[in-house]
Amino acid sequence: MNGEPEVHEESEASERSEEFEARLKAYEGRPAAATGVGRDPVNEPMIRHWCEAMGDTSPAYTGPDAIAPPTMLQAWTMAGLSRSPERTAAYDELLRLLDESGYHAVVATDCEQEYLRPLRPGDEITFDSVIESVSDLKTTKLGAGHFVTTRTDVRAGGALAGTHRFRILKYAPARRPKKQAPGPPEERRPRPVVNRDNAGFWEGVARHALLIQRCTGCGDLRFPWLPGCNSCGSPEWDTVEASGDGTVYSYVVMHHPPFPAFEPPYAVGLIELAEGVRIVSNVVGVPYDKVRIGMPVRLDFRRYDEELVLPVFQGVAE
Ligand code: ZN
């Protein structure tokens, strides 16, 4: 049999998928929900309830010059229990198209907010929502599918105050592999999740530097990496390189359950660095049953495979 018919089928399939993706892309920019009006103007009682629920005692949210916590953005647009948001025909159509093409499962993946100006008690809220993007076909652990991002623009007195992006994955669930006889175990360690908030940390690790974030507003050091300062709220930061000295602040010895690529028993330490922040890591170089609280440790970097380097801590014999 020559290869021609297969090549032909392949190109037909890719034409079909291009055509389908073009149909999906045609929904980008179309409204996802009818323009809405906030049920209540921005108001002090809702701000107070929010702050109590969140345990947020920032003085910015009380008093005569109070602003609303920026993360309340979506709260001002919510329809309440008795009303549901009015989805547009375009959005319903897009979801139906995906359903009918086999991407009938759905999972919410993430939400992102941007804040352009503070909201204050008395602000009247309006909002509208568009289908911002429909991704190409993506392969995920759940199955192949398309990410659909809707963007809600929130306005106060007509001026854009912030945006709220909400992303779902419409996917065809991957078939679960049938239980097989135990084969070779996956010997590689799990990969760290690297995102824009912690990428700098992993870049440091790659060149054998353990970087601690430092708030340039108040000077507080923080670890693990976060987008903002827990002490003063500033999003501005730089880094300091850890000296590498530390002590075991606490630890556990892992016996069970076993995980691939980990050989129990082993010690997992909460290491207090000389700089004052703490990091969870492996304590190596000493038998697991010799690890003690207060034991001095020294930073080291261990290569686990061709792509994975992790900071570990060597027990220092006293
Ligand atoms: Zn700070």
For ligand 1, the distance from its centroid to the CA atom of residue 221, given in whole angstroms, is 8
For ligand 1, the distance from its centroid to the CA atom of residue 200, given in whole angstroms, is 18
Cα–Cα dist 251/223, whole Å: 18
For ligand 1, the distance from its centroid to the CA atom of residue 214, given in whole angstroms, is 8
**In sequence order, which residues have a C-beta less than 8 Å from that of residue 2 and are 6 or more positions away?**
none
pLDDT of residue 10: 59
**In sequence order, which residues have a C-beta less than 8 Å from that of residue 271 and are 6 or more positions away?**
246, 247, 248, 249, 278, 279, 280, 281, 283, 297, 313
pLDDT of residue 34: 83
For ligand 1, the distance from its centroid to the CA atom of residue 246, given in whole angstroms, is 23
Q: pTM score, two decimals?
A: 0.54
**In sequence order, which residues have a C-beta less than 8 Å from that of residue 3 and are 6 or more positions away?**
none
Any idea what the Cα angle at residue 185 is, between residues 180 and 188, rounded to 5°? 140
pLDDT digit string (tens) for the chain, length 318 residues: 444 445 455 567 777 788 999 999 999 999 998 888 999 999 999 999 999 999 999 999 999 999 999 999 999 998 877 766 678 899 999 999 999 999 999 999 999 999 999 999 999 999 999 999 999 999 998 899 999 999 999 999 999 999 999 999 999 998 766 555 444 446 788 899 999 999 999 999 999 999 999 999 999 999 999 999 999 999 999 999 999 999 999 999 998 887 888 888 999 999 999 999 999 999 999 999 999 999 999 999 999 888 899 999 999 866
For ligand 1, the distance from its centroid to the CA atom of residue 35, given in whole angstroms, is 38
Half-sphere exposure of 192 (CA within 13 A, CB side): 20
For tokens 């929900």, what's the residue?
Answer: 33
For ligand 1, the distance from its centroid to the CA atom of residue 195, given in whole angstroms, is 22
Cα–Cα dist 125/76, whole Å: 7
For ligand 1, the distance from its centroid to the CA atom of residue 228, given in whole angstroms, is 8
For ligand 1, the distance from its centroid to the CA atom of residue 306, given in whole angstroms, is 37
Contact yes or no for 47/72 (Cβ under 8 A): yes
Cα–Cα dist 251/270, whole Å: 6
For ligand 1, the distance from its centroid to the CA atom of residue 260, given in whole angstroms, is 39
pLDDT of residue 14: 76
**In sequence order, which residues have a C-beta less than 8 Å from that of residue 201 and are 6 or more positions away?**
211, 224, 225
For ligand 1, the distance from its centroid to the CA atom of residue 231, given in whole angstroms, is 5
**In sequence order, which residues have a C-beta less than 8 Å from that of residue 19 and are 6 or more positions away?**
none
pLDDT of residue 177: 60
For ligand 1, the distance from its centroid to the CA atom of residue 123, given in whole angstroms, is 29
Single-letter code of the amino acid located at 158:
G
pLDDT of residue 189: 87
For ligand 1, the distance from its centroid to the CA atom of residue 192, given in whole angstroms, is 26
For ligand 1, the distance from its centroid to the CA atom of residue 313, given in whole angstroms, is 28
**Shortest CA distance to 205 belongs to which of 216, 194, 218?**
194
Q: Write down all domains in the chain, each with its CATH number in brackets.
A: 19-173 (3.10.129.10), 199-315 (2.40.50.840)
For ligand 1, the distance from its centroid to the CA atom of residue 184, given in whole angstroms, is 48
For ligand 1, the distance from its centroid to the CA atom of residue 236, given in whole angstroms, is 8
